[in-house]
């Protein structure tokens, strides 16, 4: 019986690991050869980034064009597997450009570190002690980063929280301005450094010491005008506002609307190798901060009968630290983007999220998304069916013409093409 319990897998060389996996899973020789190819990310470096490394994973990266944000032109690298996203985003940016492009801004980089103190015997006394020794706690936290201290950033304040279901528990919020960093590492260090002192003064027992991925004080805002005559006239404008109203009030629609925003946000985060899981968790939690889950964006008709689109979204990406500099193509993506600093980076991402969202909602409010989506999907199916070179367009065009876009039909068409060409 094959077992997944492999002694010291992490100590094996990469070829040994691949060999073990290959035998376990019955990989073919050609597949093993593919695993050995890690593209621009050297095996030796990748092996140091994660554990039990065997290979890298490719994902297409495209460029969204037409972006004008706060008067500056950008090319936006987007890494995503879903067809239509890059095209739709570029198209929305083109429309926004006609009215001056996107206006976007970001707040300061304030984040929260949480320290959970349990088994507190005297809650009012413990809270009083924390309050009294606040400056000492902050000074201790600030030992974690000389850079932040030098910039007059770092741990700024403390909030004391209690939650009814958690008996004898105080939750400390360490409010930290992380400057140009994403912030996770420095905040986690601050929480760990201060925990023993907090135990000492409260008599409690610290359990969790970790940043919160919810960043309501690190938020970006983007807005743009989408002119009625460029998007199908006042009928489409009215329909877009109705769609937006639904996303505001209906959780089932809100989550799909927000997923459309994240199509753009995540694609930039992945291209630049930032933590997109954090962005997802953050955005969706933020969308429910008022007690119900709602849309992060809104589309309203302005006095000229055009659409004004607005998006407010928490985004926490740094321009210092992180693994980006180890991933050659992420470094290139960052260079293509041409941002100077965290606030600009976050603002650009918010504008991309808004563009992506607008493109989807506009299409849904008019012709629907299947037409464009399935057109591109047909190319993917053609490739998956085995088509190459000119065959891809031939199969894809036939699929679209017939309106029956399926893998089975793609295979049949490919077979017919090859038969007509007398084999390949
Ligand atoms: C698909 O990836 C995203 C959309 O569903 C977003 C939306 O419905 O707004 C098209």
**pLDDT tens, position by position, 103-134:** 999 999 999 999 999 999 999 999 999 999 99
Confidence band (pLDDT; 50, 70, 90) for 318? confident
Q: How far is the CA of 260 from the centre of ligand 1 (A)?
A: 4
Residue whose Cα lies nearest atom 6 of ligand 1: it is 260
Q: Treating both helix axes as pointing N-terminal to C-terminal, what angle do 276-286 and 251-271 enclose, rounded to 10 degrees?
A: 150
Are residues 192 and 282 located together in one domain of the fold?
A: no
pTM higher than the cut 0.75: yes
What's the CA gap between 338 and 341, in Å, rounded?
Answer: 10
Residue 353 CB less than 6 A away from ligand 1:
no
Ligand 1, residues 78, 239, 256: which to mutate, most atoms within 8 A of Cβ? 256
Residue 259 in contact with ligand 1 by CB distance below 6 A = yes
Q: 82 catalytic, yes or no?
A: yes
Residues 286 and 187 in one domain: no
Nearest CA to ligand 1 atom 2: 260
Is 55 part of a structural domain of the chain? no
Mean pLDDT of 308-321: 92
Residue 391 domain boundaries: 372-420
Catalytic: which of 153, 221, 373, 377?
Answer: 373
Q: Is residue 394 part of a domain?
A: yes
Ligand 1 centroid from CA 280, angstroms:
15
Whole-Å CA distances, 146 to 101, 183, 331 = 39, 14, 26
Task: Find how far residue 99's CA is from the centre of its chain.
Answer: 27
Cβ–ligand 1 contact at 365 (below 6 Å): no
pLDDT at position 224 over 60: yes
Are 228 and 343 members of one domain?
Answer: yes
pLDDT at 350: 98
Domain count, the chain: 4
Residues 190 and 286 occupy one common structural domain:
no
286 and 322 in a common domain: yes
* Whether residue 237 is found in the same domain as residue 308: yes
What ligand 1 atom has the least distance to the C-alpha of 361? 9
Q: Which of 341, 364, 387 finishes a domain? A: 364
């Amino acid at each position: 019986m094959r077992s997944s319990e492999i002694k010291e897998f992490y100590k094996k060389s990469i070829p040994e690991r691949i060999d073990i996996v290959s035998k376990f899973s019955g990989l073919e020789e050609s597949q093993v050869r593919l695993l050995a190819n890690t593209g621009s990310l050297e095996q030796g470096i990748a092996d140091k980034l994660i554990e039990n490394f065997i290979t890298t994973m490719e994902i297409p990266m495209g460029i969204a064009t037409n972006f004008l944000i706060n008067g500056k032109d950008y090319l936006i690298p987007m890494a995503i597997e879903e067809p239509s996203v890059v095209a739709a985003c570029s198209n929305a940016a083109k429309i926004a450009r006609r009215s001056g492009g996107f206006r976007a801004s970001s707040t300061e980089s304030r984040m929260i570190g949480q320290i959970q103190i349990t088994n507190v015997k005297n809650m009012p006394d413990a809270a009083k002690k924390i309050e009294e020794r606040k400056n000492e706690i902050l000074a201790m936290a600030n030992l974690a980063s000389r850079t932040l201290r030098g910039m007059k950033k770092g741990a700024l304040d403390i909030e004391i929280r209690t939650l009814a279901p958690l008996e004898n528990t105080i939750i400390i919020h360490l409010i930290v301005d992380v400057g140009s960093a994403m912030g996770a590492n420095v905040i986690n260090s601050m929480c760990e450094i201060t925990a023993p002192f907090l135990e000492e003064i409260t008599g409690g027992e610290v359990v969790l010491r970790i940043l919160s991925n919810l960043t309501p004080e690190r938020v970006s805002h983007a807005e743009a005008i989408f002119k009625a005559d460029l998007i199908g006239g006042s009928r489409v404008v009215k329909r877009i506002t109705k769609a937006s109203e639904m996303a505001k009030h209906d959780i089932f629609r809100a989550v799909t609307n927000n997923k459309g925003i994240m199509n753009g946000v995540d694609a930039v985060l992945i291209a630049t190798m930032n933590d997109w899981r954090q962005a997802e968790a953050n955005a969706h939690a933020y969308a429910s901060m008022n007690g119900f889950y709602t849309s992060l964006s809104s589309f309203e008709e302005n006095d000229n009968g055009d659409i004004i689109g607005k998006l407010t979204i928490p985004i926490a990406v740094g321009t210092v630290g992180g693994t980006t500099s180890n991933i050659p193509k992420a470094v290139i993506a960052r260079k293509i983007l041409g941002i100077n600093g965290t606030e600009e980076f976050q603002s650009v991402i918010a504008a991309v999220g808004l563009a992506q969202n607008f493109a989807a909602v506009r299409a849904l409010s008019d012709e629907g998304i299947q037409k464009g989506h399935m057109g591109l999907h047909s190319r993917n199916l053609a490739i998956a069916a085995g088509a190459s070179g000119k065959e891809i367009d031939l199969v894809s065009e036939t699929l679209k013409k017939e309106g029956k876009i399926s893998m089975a039909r793609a295979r049949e068409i490919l077979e017919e093409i090859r038969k007509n060409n007398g084999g390949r």
